[in-house]
Amino acid sequence: MKQGPPRFSALRQVWRRNWRTVLACAALLLIWQAAALWLKREELPSAWETLRDVPVILSSGEDVLGILASLRRMALGFGLGLLVAVPLGLAMGRSKPLARLLNPLTALAYPIPKAALMPIIMLWLGIGDLSKVLVIFMGVSLPLLYHSSQGAEQVDDKLIWSAQAMGMGQVARLLRVILPAALPEVMLGCRVAVSIALITMISSEMIARQNGAGNLLFNAMDMAIYTDVYAVILIIAVIGVVLDVLMERLRVALTHWADTLQPGSTS
């Protein structure tokens, strides 16, 4: 076979790896388009109209600032979760008394939709960033806590003993032995946490409407501009996919040394 210029062969490679994804998305858009044309209802704008609306929204400074504010809150909540839940989870995985103390609490907290706490939090902290960051933080903390403690529990005692014999202290062992050894599992938790962060971010903004992607969505809904509603949902979905892909890349990059790399899947 003849080799094309390098730029095209690179393109061909991308195509060869992703044609199924492209095809699936195209099929979905086609079905959407056909359904919209057939039903002719205001509540279901066509795929084409919606796609055309996306750049319009993204060129509005106010809307983009709102979405960026959402992402900033999400990053803050997620970061806070990493700082608090991961070390705590690792400690729970290595200390049975601590796990026995905290497990009932996390079991109680698991089934509660974190956004359901939003009204109470708003009573205390208002409808600003603080409340929303706190809710996102609570949302991401549970999967991070769970996966970190699972990961830490599975760390071979002998790895820790080897570090102990070298003279490594307790805190250093947690950060320099247990954290890296548990990292493949912690990263799985991070991936779950990213999607939960996105969900809690949107729900918190739908409840405490001030700005952000969730607010954008409901404003459009209130004004019955349905193309905007669908376009915002599309933007949120793309943000979600991009964050997930980035997280998966990060996971592979950080745990390339592991014996078995789990294929990309949420647990």
- The contact set with other proteins (CB under 8 A) reads 156-159, 161-168, 172, 177, 180-181, 183, 255, 257-259
* Cβ-based nearer residue to other proteins, 22 or 166: 166
Give exposure, 49-83, as e/b (b: 16+ Cβ within 10 Å). ebbebbeebeeeeebeebbebbbebbebbbebbbe
Residue given tokens 């014999």 in the structure block = 165
Number of Cβ within 10 Å of residue 125's Cβ equals 16
Rounded Cα distance between 248 and 241, Å, is 11
From the list 160, 159, 183, 180, the residue with the least C-alpha distance to 170 is: 160
Q: Give me the least distance between CB of 156 and other proteins, in Å please.
A: 6
Q: Give me the least distance between CB of 22 and other proteins, in Å please.
A: 35
* Cβ-based nearer residue to other proteins, 131 or 150: 150
Output the DSSP codes for 67-99: HHHHHHHHHHHHHHHHHHHHHHHHHHHH-HHHH
* Cβ-based nearer residue to other proteins, 109 or 254: 254
Contact 182, 152 (CB under 8 A): yes
Rounded Cα distance between 1 and 91, Å, is 58
* Cβ-based nearer residue to other proteins, 164 or 262: 164
Q: Give me the least distance between CB of 155 and other proteins, in Å please.
A: 11
* Cβ-based nearer residue to other proteins, 1 or 171: 171
Q: Give me the least distance between CB of 260 and other proteins, in Å please.
A: 9
Rounded Cα distance between 134 and 226, Å, is 31
Q: Give me the least distance between CB of 171 and other proteins, in Å please.
A: 13
Number of Cβ within 10 Å of residue 242's Cβ equals 10
* Cβ-based nearer residue to other proteins, 42 or 157: 157
Q: Give me the least distance between CB of 257 and other proteins, in Å please.
A: 5
